[in-house]
A and B are shown apart, each in its own frame.
Chain A
Amino acid sequence: MRRILAIFLVFLKNWLRNRSALFFSFIFPLLLLIFASIFTSERTQPITIFVQNQDQETQLSKVYESILNKTFNVEKIPSNISSPVNYLKTKKQGLITFKIRILIIPKGFEENATTLAMKEAIRLQILNLQRTLSSPYINESIKQEIIKGINVLQNVYSNLPNKTLNIKLITESEDTDYLLLNSILTQINGSFINNLIGVNATFSINHETVYERRISAVDYYLAGLLAAFVMTNGLFSTAPTLVEIRVKGILKRLLGTPLQKHEWFLGIIFSILLINSILLLEMLLAAVIIFKAKIGFNVYWILIFYIGMFFFIGLGVFIGSMVRSEETAIALVNLIGFPMMFLSGAFWPLEIMPDFLKYVAQVLPLYHFHTSLRYIMVFGDTTPVINNILIVVVLSLSFTILSIKFLRWKET
């Protein structure tokens, strides 16, 4: 135990004093988690819409603007700007975080709205009177008076000009939120006209909520990044280091002492285990404190985290025992690690990847590792990812056995 502790401490000190190892083990994953979660998190801010009111002096256009303001984050474009699009494009050169969504309230909006509302009110009145004519409770003389009234109203209705509000909406061609925006605006417009003619809403929507845990950005990245960096820590802290120790003659020095192979192996394992535990802790703290991630602390995902770690340590030890030069070891772990990191879906969902890459991802061990880890972390259930878990367990067992068998602890 004393010797295992000595090896453990030496490896740990060597790792913690290596600035680049420190950066890539602890700081880089944390930065990735923070930035990825910030830039891809679900929208909580209202949609921003730029409004140019060309009918600025009128009261109704201002009322309409205030209704928009209740739904959207309204930013005004001065009415004297002849090309609002160019105006925003100019602005966008310095500030690229918003989408071009312009709503133009045309000149004559109030006049058109008033006419439209009046005409609509008359039409409704005519319809109402026509319904009254069929009533058995109204006598003939009154009916004749109503008919006269209908005729007068129809006369007025037909003399009023046909108007539309002609509100103009300009969006970017690739704006996927266009349909949503259009639908919201249609409802706002209908409601505006109804209010104008004095019709109250005749039906309401009762809103109930149900709780359904969905995968948020931080859920996705937390598991993905944990898995990816457990992989890099496992591979990079073993393969090149073991070769370096052998090539530099450090192994020979240790072989001249009573140190045993299993003590050497366990010392290495425990140091990486602690490094990965620190990584896990800092990532969890960041996810919970900064992004309010809801992580169920059950034993299964903690188990799968450490089981997965053994696979990558085993693979790293195996590579480190088989190759002769440090350069070859670094090249090999890069060759294995980086494609796995980017193709396995650890950093982005497989859904956005081409079909053939989805199949490629599913043969990569990292895919099964981060998928099972994520699912259990988020939903606390192992059943749907049992196959992924089994793959991780089998790989870990196999490579741990291989690494124990092939770990060099003698000179031939």
Chain B
Amino acid sequence: MDIIVEAISLTKRYNNVIAIDNISFNIYKGEIFSFLGPNGSGKTTTVEILACIRKPTSGTAKILGYSINKEVNEIKKRIGILPQEFTFFDLLTVKECVEFIGKIYGTKYDIKQILEIFRLEEYKNKKFRELSGGLKRRVGLAMSIVNDPDLLFLDEPTTGLDPESRRDVWKYILNLKKLGKTIFLTTHYMEEAEKLSDRIGIIIKGKLVVLDEVKNLINNYGGGFRLVIYLDKNIEENVVKILQDNNYKFDKKDNVIICNLSNKREANLLASELIRKGIENFEMKYPSVEDAFLNLVGYKISEMGELI
């Protein structure tokens, strides 16, 4: 696999604060690679170092084979970036924003096609300040591909958006992957990382805690399948008996029993047994990135990006 990004022992210090601490990783051609972590974990600093906006305190990286320390212009010509909470010149129209970035790169681009990809044709004459948050991010995405980059940095592309706009932006990010772009995405949304990424790196306090493919992450750290059974007085005794008879491990809290199962087959067996006994008020919970994160870090991440 072609290596697009090769980060080697990157460290960034701001006075006494270590923003990123000796992290190394590779990003491969055509994948969506995500950094998942709470606010202040070092996601943006990493993106900005790789996009040649900041300099690392130590360590180095190669982007598309070019050194971030020596070949900044070569890198900048070949990357696209959507900064965190992206905004632009308020009084420029959508078309002017995209064209402006096009002029900066000086490359040939088809403005019509770019606007079409992000369904921005009908907004092309609207001023940037008149757009909704979701549309602004779409304009940012459109601007990031004007130079037909090989690598895109999307720094928290959906932060601050409502769930609907967020899903809308996901659609466009996945389209970019289909266009063959390699994407480095940062996020604090578990679902976003899981839905979009091929591989995820969990970053906490500047340290890369784990880096793996999504399915491996879930399988290794997600904690297995769970069956959640909602009890009432008539079935409680019966359910407990079934679980004890079959040696299932379970926790009971109020009117809910959570049964931890080692794999999907075991979960299906238990579900069949319950249905056979006339118990249908239950649901299967698949392990997720959120479970993996919780098991690895011991915390969840709030909507605002804080560890809770």
Contact = CB atoms under 8 A, between A and B. Distances in A.
Interface string B78-119: 011101111111111000100011011110000000000000
A256 B100 contact: no
B207 interface: no
Given A14-B91, A252-B48, A2 B83 contact: no
Contacts, number: 73
Given A410-B53, A411-B54, A257 B89 contact: no
Contacts of B167: none
Interface string A1-20: 01101100110011001100
A255 B53 contact: yes
B87 A256 contact: no
Given A252-B48, A252-B83, A256-B76, A2 B53 contact: no
Given A256-B79, A257-B76, A6 B104 contact: yes
B177 interface: no
Interface size class of B (residues with CB under 8 A): 20 to 34
Interface string B238-274: 0000000000000000000000000000000000000
B53 A256 contact: yes
A258 B87 contact: no
Interface string A248-265: 111011111111000000
Nearest to A245: B89
A249 B86 contact: yes
Contacts of B91: 13-14, 17-18
A249 B53 contact: no
Contacts of B73: 258
Nearest to B90: A14
A258 B143 CA distance: 14
A158 to B, nearest CB: 94
B84 A249 contact: yes
Given A258-B73, A411-B53, A412-B54, A253 B83 contact: yes
Contacts of A252: 48, 53, 83
A248 B89 CA distance: 9
A258 B53 CA distance: 11
Contact of A2 (B79, B81, B85, B103): B103
A342 B58 CA distance: 53
Contact of B105 (A10, A250, A258, A410): A258
Nearest to A16: B91
B153 interface: yes
B145 to A, nearest CB: 13
Contacts of A257: 76, 101, 104-105
Nearest to A263: B104
Nearest to B48: A411
B140 to A, nearest CB: 8
A240 B205 CA distance: 34
B51 A256 contact: yes
A164 to B, nearest CB: 77
Nearest to A5: B103
B126 interface: no
B104 A254 contact: yes
A252 B127 CA distance: 21
Contacts of A250: 87-89
Nearest to A255: B53
A166 B235 CA distance: 126
Interface residues of A, number: 24
Contacts of B84: 249
Given A256-B83, A257-B105, A259-B104, A13 B96 contact: yes
Q: Which of B51, B84, B89 has the most chain A CB within a 10 Å cutoff?
A: B89
B77 interface: yes
A60 B128 CA distance: 81
A257 B82 CA distance: 11
Nearest to B85: A249
Q: Which of A250, A252, A254, A257 has the most chain B CB within a 10 Å cutoff?
A: A257
Contacts of A248: 87-88
B76 A10 contact: no
Interface in A1-59: 2-3, 5-6, 9-10, 13-14, 17-18
Contacts of A14: 89-92
B7 to A, nearest CB: 17
B148 to A, nearest CB: 14
Given A6-B100, A10-B100, A257-B76, A249 B105 contact: no
A410 B54 CA distance: 7
Contact of B81 (A9, A13, A256): A256
A24 to B, nearest CB: 16
B17 to A, nearest CB: 12
A263 B87 CA distance: 21
Contacts of A13: 89, 91-92, 96
Nearest to B79: A256
Contacts of B92: 10, 13-14
Interface string B136-154: 0000100100000000010
Contacts of B153: 256
Contact of A258 (B14, B86, B104, B140): B104
Nearest to A248: B87
Contacts of B105: 257-258
Nearest to B147: A257
Nearest to B102: A6
A258 B76 contact: yes
Contacts of B77: 258
A258 B75 CA distance: 9
A259 B79 CA distance: 13
Interface of A: 2-3, 5-6, 9-10, 13-14, 17-18, 248-250, 252-259, 410-412
Interface of B: 14, 48, 51-54, 73, 76-77, 79-81, 83-92, 96, 100-101, 103-106, 127, 140, 143, 153
8 contacts: A10-B89, A13-B96, A249-B86, A253-B140, A257-B104, A410-B54, A411-B54, A412-B14
